[in-house]
Amino acid sequence: MPFQNLKNKLSKYRFEIKHITIFFTVLIIFQIILALIQKSSLENFLDETQGWYQKHSAERLAIITSTSMELLFENLILEKKLSELDERKLISSFNVIFKQQLLQKSVDEILLIIMKNDRLYIIDSGRKLYMLLMNELEPYSEDGNSDGVNLYIKLKNKIRANEIIYSELYEHKTFNILVPFVPDGEYMGAMYMKITPNFDFITGEIASNYDSVSIIYSVLIFFGLIAIFLVSSQAVKERNEAKQKLLEEHEENIKNQVRAEKETLFTKRIYHTHHKAEKIIGFIKEDIRNADPQNIDLLKNKVITYSNFISRIIYDMKWYDQAINTIVNPMFKTNINQTIKFIIDNIFLRISSKNEMFEFQLSLDEKVPIVHINEFVVWEIIEPLIQNCIDHGNKKSIQIKVKTLFDVKNNTSQVTIEDNGVGVEEELLMTCENGIKNIFLENKSTKKMENSNSGYGCYIAYQMAVIRCGWELDVRNKDKNGCIFTIGIKH
């Protein structure tokens, strides 16, 4: 369960190529820093180890040399004068002890410092050792300049009292070592050796091998990260491509859906207006049948107007997204009062039962200016609103008042259409999230009949008036019975 929760949390985050690049760059930088820290730690360790081993090695060499010299003294007994040949052989044997140590690269100086009769004797060769044994060696002169002798003079009391090895590090690489010289258990002085042990070749080899291992390790990690980066980037790339294709497919589906919705709306709008076309054609046939020489001019104007309206309906059937210049254009000069009067006189009042169903009261302001809107677009706006008052009045006799008024000060006109019916349901007067009242939305109607293609009259009027013409359209219930539609026109 915790693993699943962690997986769900991680799945919320999107990892792109840049995130992976930054991640691997940080890893490589951390690896380089770690390698440098490890190398520095190794160098410190090797320096400390080398210093300890150099001291130990130098002291061991000094002890061995001093022990050899002590054994020589213990076994050497001279009771008679030697021949010249024997003397050279003995001196040569003594020189072996000194020169053999000096032949080593790490030994810089070797001295045997002897205290005899409170006199200081310095021996650095076989001949001086032989001369000491023969009591012929001159004591050390205080004018001499030797680091070993000066160090012994400084520490002679300490060495004599404790008889311990003393070593001193000089310039971080050279050891000055004093080893008590005690043949037959009798303290006689000290063996001084100046030794510079060098193990750089060992530490250098270790450091070189470590560098090689670090480089190989870093290269392997680097190529491993590169491989992971390539695989991850390829996976992310494939995911992005798949996502892009999915988005494109989703976009295409949305376009198809919008296109289908527009076509569906277009189809429903045709169904909504085709009966109007049939009614107008019926009026045209009736007028033609009733034509005579006395009314021919009047009938001709009426038929032309009817025909133009039929042409507009046919145009609406051809295009569900009309060009704006076919709706609003300076070439259109529409008189709103004349259009309203024509619709009422030649559409609504031609119904045979008009006296029983409804009656109209007109109050038209002659000052209302013309509008640069297609006359039959104005027809499509006003006619559905009047028809809505008739259809939804829910009374046997409906009184409809149509009024126009021009406000000279604000240069605006207002058209009101009101009735004395039952009014509009409160639900339809509520506004949606877009601030539009429900009555002006698609498929919103008070008719409770399924598949009746109702709910498009006020919707088409709103689309034409507000969306296409830039007018204002509102509806409200009156204080008593009925509702009132208000159209605001800015000239």
Q: What are the tens digits of pLDDT across the range 192-202?
A: 888 777 766 67
Least confident of 315-324, 391-400, 432-441: 315-324
Distance in angstroms (rounded) separating the CA atoms of residues 437 and 462: 10
Residue with tokens 């080593």: 104
pLDDT of 457 higher than 50:
yes
pTM: 0.49
CATH number for the domain formed by residue range(s) 17-198: 3.30.450
DSSP letter at 438? G
Predicted local distance difference test score (pLDDT) of residue 353: 47
Better-scored residue on pLDDT, 362 or 349: 362
Distance in angstroms (rounded) separating the CA atoms of residues 457 and 381: 9
Distance in angstroms (rounded) separating the CA atoms of residues 371 and 415: 13
The phi-psi region of residue 404 (left if phi > 0; otherwise alpha if psi is between -120 and 50; otherwise beta) is beta
Closest CA to 192 of 184, 182, 181: 181
DSSP letter at 75? H
User: Which residues, 6+ apart, have CB-to-CB distance to 210 below 8 Å?
Assistant: 38, 39, 42
**CA torsion through residues 41, 46, 47, 52, sign:** positive
pLDDT of 352 higher than 90:
no
Q: pLDDT digits over 176-194, tens only? A: 888 888 887 778 888 888 8
DSSP letter at 410? T
At 369 the three-state DSSP class reads coil
- By the 8 A CB rule, do 191 and 113 touch? yes
At 476 the three-state DSSP class reads strand
Per-residue pLDDT averaged across 464-468, rounded?
A: 90
pLDDT of 417 higher than 90:
yes
Q: pLDDT digits over 87-135, tens only? A: 677 677 667 666 666 556 677 788 888 888 778 888 877 778 777 777 7
pLDDT of 469 higher than 90:
yes
- By the 8 A CB rule, do 220 and 212 touch? no
Better-scored residue on pLDDT, 488 or 282: 488
Distance in angstroms (rounded) separating the CA atoms of residues 477 and 400: 14
Token couple for 87: 């003397």
Angle of helix 296-318 relative to helix 336-346, nearest 10 degrees, comes to: 100
CATH number for the domain formed by residue range(s) 322-490: 3.30.565.10
Predicted local distance difference test score (pLDDT) of residue 373: 94
Predicted local distance difference test score (pLDDT) of residue 74: 65
Q: In what order do the strands lie in the sheet with 472-477?
A: 358-363, 398-407, 412-419, 483-490, 472-477
**How is the chain split into domains, by residue range?**
17-198, 322-490
Predicted local distance difference test score (pLDDT) of residue 455: 57
Q: pLDDT digits over 137-155, tens only? A: 788 776 656 777 888 888 8
pLDDT of 383 higher than 80:
yes
Query: What is the overall mean pLDDT for the chain?
Result: 79
Predicted local distance difference test score (pLDDT) of residue 334: 94
Distance in angstroms (rounded) separating the CA atoms of residues 372 and 369: 10
DSSP string, 107-133: EEEEEEEEEETTEEEEE-SHHHHHHHH
Residue with tokens 């991850």: 232
Tell me what percent of the residues of the chain surpass a pLDDT of 90. 16
Least confident of 20-29, 402-411, 472-481: 20-29
Per-residue pLDDT averaged across 47-52, rounded?
A: 71
- By the 8 A CB rule, do 65 and 101 touch? yes
